[in-house]
Structure 1
Amino acid sequence: MPELPELVGLSQFLNAELAGSVLESVQITSFTALKTAAPSERELLGRVLKDVSRQGKFIDLRFGPSTTDDVGLHFIFHLAKAGWLRFSAGVVPAEQKRPAALKPGGYITARLGFDNARIDLTEAGTRKSMAIYLVREASEVPGIATLGPDPLAEDFTVEQLSEILSRKRAQIKGVLRDQRQIAGIGNAYSDEILHLARLSPFAPSNSLSEEQVQTLFDSIRSILQQAIAQASGKPASELKDAKRSSMRVHTRTGEACPVCGDTVHEVAFADRSLQYCPSCQTGGKLLADRRMSRLLK
């Protein structure tokens, strides 16, 4: 699933390529992906794309007013677990922009044809969970309205992180992944952050010392800033590979930890897995491979 760094890179890339472009065609092939009934897709046509931004794990394409409507519109999407974006630069042939070029139920969930480029929102697999919203204000999207603070915002402090962690007894990895608590961090970067902070993914969030909270705060900033630096300036087609190449423990099961040389281990769940280094994070103990795991005695 794309997370904060890739979505920063993606929004920057799209903004550089498309700001000022006119939307000539739009098709959303999945009824389940489109989460709003009004405004309609037709109301986007002919509008100028003002800018592209990111909020949490959402990408926001902000369009200006039309000739008949003096209010702008937002095309907002959440790529979910298996979604991505395919970008085609240059003048696209008209027959490749028309809605007839797509069929419902296919690999492409939505297509936006601009006067100088085309965007395809794609989703692999049979489990479709991409979400698209057409709204007049970004705050109308439920997931955006309930977002927690952005961890790279200037006003996000170690004191704020401490307050979030102390709200209840919960596994620290779950708190990092909860978009209502902290926006933008997902499964991959929570693994990387906890590895750098030398914390078990199952450590109770309200049990950390002041020093551990400070270390976690610094690790959040460091991991995300490094990943953003690696993603910035890259086209959409290269962002996934850039993410994979930067991982130290996530998806590295069976490989050597780059810090201590111990073997990276995995805990698998029904729909995801986490990776960690026993020597760096759990005092050498292995975590049981089940959802409600505790350290093995």
Structure 2
Amino acid sequence: MTWSEVQARPLPAPGVRVTYGGAQQQFGELRVPPGPGPHPVLVLIHGGCWHRSFDLQYFSHLADALTRETGAATWNIEYRRLGDPGGGWPGSFLDIANATDQIRALAARHHLDTDRVVAIGHSAGGQLALWLAARDQLAPGSAPYRPNPLKLRGVIGLSAITDLIAYSRPQGGCNAAVGELLGGSPERQLARYQQASPRELLPLGVPQWLIQGVEDPIVPLATVRAYAGAAKDAGDTVTVEEIAGAGHFEPALPGTSAWPALLAAVRAALKP
């Protein structure tokens, strides 16, 4: 599936727009299923090489379908990205953290279960979703540190970028955005890579599901396999679902060959 094919899909009706900060990018779309709740929450983090050229709209397909089919609320968040004022390090990370912690403020009015929160991220958003699970490891002096982070029940990575040091090495494409995101190469900004890369933060301490297209040209399958092996060696529980014939975008959209694996992962992550 190509990006043009993703863009050609008619968008679902938007969720309820809620701000979590003063910048125009600091908002999310909340979708809550019918019923009294309390509803578990799926935090959705879109990808796009951390760049402002890509926004949360394409992830609304996933948010709408997951809300209808899993009984969970979805919180599809926007954040400052490269090219936005304040995007990059640490602004993008702070936005993801603050948006997730905002669930506490939304819980009473929208009947949300803050003890059952799962992060789902695609591509660069997969890196940010995995990072969310590990941010309680950050020292108070770390730029993206926030006290008392909301605890996750698990993380689902869709074509997820898992190792920022390794991913920054090839030239061009999304790989080149890593240095822009963190303000330099690993040799120049090693401390930032150590605070941002899921591979460097292992063990994350929560179950992880990684759904990966075998034919993905943007996030190679080998990188996901390497991360999963390292995570298991560190003591984490990791499940990798390799989708034959799928590329980079199938894991992020309902109705594709990757959709059954994603539904199964969500149900496993939310299981009491």
TM-score range, shorter chain: under 0.3
Larger radius of gyration: 1
Taking structure 2 as the reference length, what is the TM-score of the superposition?
0.25
Q: With structure 1 as the length reference, what TM-score do the two structures score?
A: 0.24
Q: Which has the higher helix share?
A: 2
